[in-house]
Amino acid sequence: MKQHLTNAIAAIGLTAMLSACGGDDIATTPPEPIPAGADGATIYQARCASCHGEDLRGTDKGPSQLSIVYEPNHHGDNTYRTAIRNGVAQHHWGFGNMPAVQDITDEQIELVIAYIRAQQEALGFER
């Protein structure tokens, strides 16, 4: 019985520790509001560039959006919508999870996807 209690206390301690250093300050710090009438490029810079790179080529916090794995037949627009709304558990890379993007409207999601698709087309995919 005593052993169980110790385990329970240890588990609580661990959970508290994990949530304290969970690294999700992006999700807990409210982001700067996106300016009204912002175009896809502005929305991308405000909400995606910190991880996916100002030039879409990735950072140490997120993968390049020009990676061939993001070409439309492999990651369609619905994957984008879901990733932005719900976040993504790490599965393709070793950057960690993508948190749900805060404070973005459905219309802004469509604008940012259109921007990324246009950039992918203009710059080409990395192979």
Chain residues binding ligand HEC by CB under 6 A are 26, 47-48, 50-52, 61-63, 75, 79-80, 83-84, 88, 90-93, 95-96, 98-99, 101, 112, 116
CB of 62 to ligand HEC, least distance (A): 3
CB of 7 to ligand HEC, least distance (A): 32
CA distance 41 to 112: 7
Smaller CB separation from ligand HEC, 11 or 39: 39
CB of 17 to ligand HEC, least distance (A): 21
CA distance 42 to 10: 46
Smaller CB separation from ligand HEC, 85 or 124: 85
Gap between the terminal Cα atoms of the chain: 58
Cβ-based neighbour number of residue 101 at 10 Å: 21
CA 96 to chain centre: 10
